[in-house]
Amino acid sequence: MTEKNQTTDTVALLQQCCAGCTMATESLEQIKGHVDDPTLREVILRYNKEHIALGAEIHEMLNETGEPTKEPGAIAKAFSWVQSEVKLSMNESNNKVAGLLIDGCNMGIKTLMETKNQSPGANEKSISLCEKLISLEKKMIEELETYL
């Protein structure tokens, strides 16, 4: 594997992880306004902080490569926002909130795994950060499942 391929794969993986953290924090910020249950609200706030912290670590490593961050696509962001608002305006139950967040986590895990598998030359640190983000999403799903 050439150094150029390793750099390209590393950057692609870090950019996707950065976009994933951004999408997660934006979704968590949006949804927390629809939650009355203090325990569920605490779960959301805790995972938001964890995504922000991990996102900062990923962003710092991406900055070291000299490449720009990757924001989630405008269409994906708008669709996610509208979908959440419409679903929550009809039903703000803990079940609905947890379901929306679990769906988002699953989409994030799928996208991260695809990018990781398509970036075989990514360096170990970027792979480790990706796996940390995937693990965070899986933990969040496990905790949210109790609200379904």
Contact 23, 138 (CB under 8 A): no
Tell me what pLDDT residue 86 has: 47
First to last CA, the chain: 45
Q: Which domains does the chain have, with CATH numbers?
A: 3-147 (1.20.1260.10)
Reported as a single tens digit per residue, the pLDDT across 34-55 is: 888 999 999 999 999 999 999 9
The per-residue pLDDT string of the chain (148 residues; one tens digit each, 9 = 90 and over) reads: 566 666 899 999 999 999 999 999 999 998 898 888 999 999 999 999 999 999 999 999 999 999 888 765 555 554 455 455 545 555 568 888 899 899 999 999 999 999 999 999 999 999 999 999 999 999 999 999 999 9
